[in-house]
Amino acid sequence: MKKLLITGASGFLGYHLCQIAKQEYSVYGTYFSHSLEIPGIKMLKVDLTDFQQLKQIFTDFQPTAVIHTAALSQPNFCQTHVEESYAINVTASCNIAGLCADDSIRCAFTSTDLVFDGLNAPYRETDPVCPVNIYGEQKVMAEKGMLERYPMTAICRMPLMFGMETPTATSFIQSFIQTLQEGKELNLFTDEFRTPVSGKTAAKGLLLALEKVNGHIHLGGKERISRYDFGRLLVEIFYIPANQLKACLQQDVKMSAPRPSDVSLDSTKAFNLGYQPLSLKEELQDLYKFPANQSS
């Protein structure tokens, strides 16, 4: 059976990826700070910033493919912890590409829509990058470094992702739902636009890219939507009182990391390869009906 190494298996996307990938691969998952067991997955605690540990995993496991999802992905944290985030987001990523190159094995990397400045959306793979925060800068450095080491790498730029919580991770909708159910005010931006997909859909896109893509691919959804309008859709489908849902502007909220206003992705290339995100309404209805089965 083909052997797949998934880094960051304890993360939101990594967990969903493990559940879908185990149907066709023998999967090894790595974690660092959040220990967990996933049925059918061999889990390993690894410090990816330690090159000897990383190399040992490749030697012991001898994967036929790697999907590298592990990252420090909170922009505000990266903005204030530059060296710590660089070690995992850039150095470890380039080392993984080098190890994949040594044995000519398939490699996919999760980058981000935040490599763009938000001024010329929707963005295609060929559009120039221009990040406005440290996290975006680090992902650009990782993209370039990995492709220099191993041009066969699939650089997958991921959109905003949502879904039901996993044993060790949540998506942004959990805090939205909790805030509103507690009767508290939820302020959402009307001027920040993304092309979201569910974690389950994103995982399928990554497996497709692993098999079919060298270089850049965008794995966004089919709808451009503001956070506020996403919130309105969420409360409608989850039957949550919407009276505490309030509109606000991104520019009025002070954050450590600057945020681009519109990083919608044009994912036509992926759609033509067979990537098939559902509509946001369908994705959310699926989550509402079958919350426990999202990773099956």
- Render pLDDT for 275-287 as a digit per residue (tens, 0 to 9): 999 999 999 999 9
The whole-angstrom distance between residue 199's C-alpha and the CA centroid of its chain comes to 8
Q: In the prediction, which pLDDT does 293 show? A: 46
Cα end-to-end distance, the chain, whole Å? 20
Token readout for 53 is 């540990």
At residue 68, does pLDDT exceed 60? yes
Residue 294 banded pLDDT, cuts 50, 70, 90: very low
Alpha carbons 250 and 268: distance in angstroms, whole number: 28
User: What is the number of helices (H) and of strands (E) in the chain?
Assistant: 11, 13
Interval 186-196 mean pLDDT: 95
Query: Helix crossing, 92-103 with 134-149: angle to 10°?
Result: 20
Higher pLDDT, 79 or 294: 79
What does the pLDDT look like over 215-251, one tens digit per residue? 999 999 999 999 999 999 999 999 998 899 999 998 8
- 239: CB partners within 8 A, 6+ apart: none
Interval 198-208 mean pLDDT: 97
Could you tell me the domains of the chain? 3-163+196-222+264-278 (3.40.50.720)
- 109: CB partners within 8 A, 6+ apart: 67, 68, 93, 96, 97, 142, 143, 146, 153, 154, 155, 156
Q: In the prediction, which pLDDT does 109 show? A: 98
